[in-house]
Structure 1
């Protein structure tokens, strides 16, 4: 049996800000991870593709407020940064599609 993916360890290098902000990003990243895992059986961000994150932001959060979607987008940018993908890539692709 394998160990569950540790989102805290994964994001530890890119988290900054206050303790409450860090906890919010970790909580939201775990929620993203669980939703993507349930939908596509992708258990960690190293296996995520852009379509998975786009689905989460557009479909999974469609009934949430604009403020909630904004904060999830910030968390997504941290995940993308940790993966080594550029912020511009995420913004360009999400605006095109």
Structure 2
């Protein structure tokens, strides 16, 4: 039996800012993780490829406001930094 993935522990090294900002990033990262896991059965961020993240940004957030997409984009940048990836996203 494996333990569930702990997103808070995963992002602890790169989270900065106020408590509310850190909580928002954690909440959004958990949503991103759940959506990617549901679509591609990739449970941890280490298994993600850029196409998974781009799919989330383009297809799961297409009906959200521009500001919401921007906040998710900021969370994606934190995830990429934590994964030490050089992913570049177009807004």
| Structure 2 unaligned regions, length at least 5 | none
Residue aligning to 1:90? 88
| 1:16-35 to 2 correspondences below 5 Å | 16-35=16-35
Q: Which has the higher helix share?
A: 1
Q: How many residues align?
A: 91
Which string of whole-angstrom CA distances, capped at 9 and with x for unpartnered residues, describes residues 31-52 of structure 1?
0000000000000100000000
TM-score when scaled to structure 2?
A: 0.96
Let me know the Cα RMSD of the aligned residues: 1.1
Residue aligning to 1:58? 58
Which string of whole-angstrom CA distances, capped at 9 and with x for unpartnered residues, describes residues 24-67 of structure 1?
00000000000000000000100000000000000011011000
Partner SS for 1:90: coil
The offset of 1:85, in angstroms, is 1.4
TM-score when scaled to structure 1?
A: 0.90
State the 4+ residue runs in structure 1 displaced beyond 4 angstroms: none
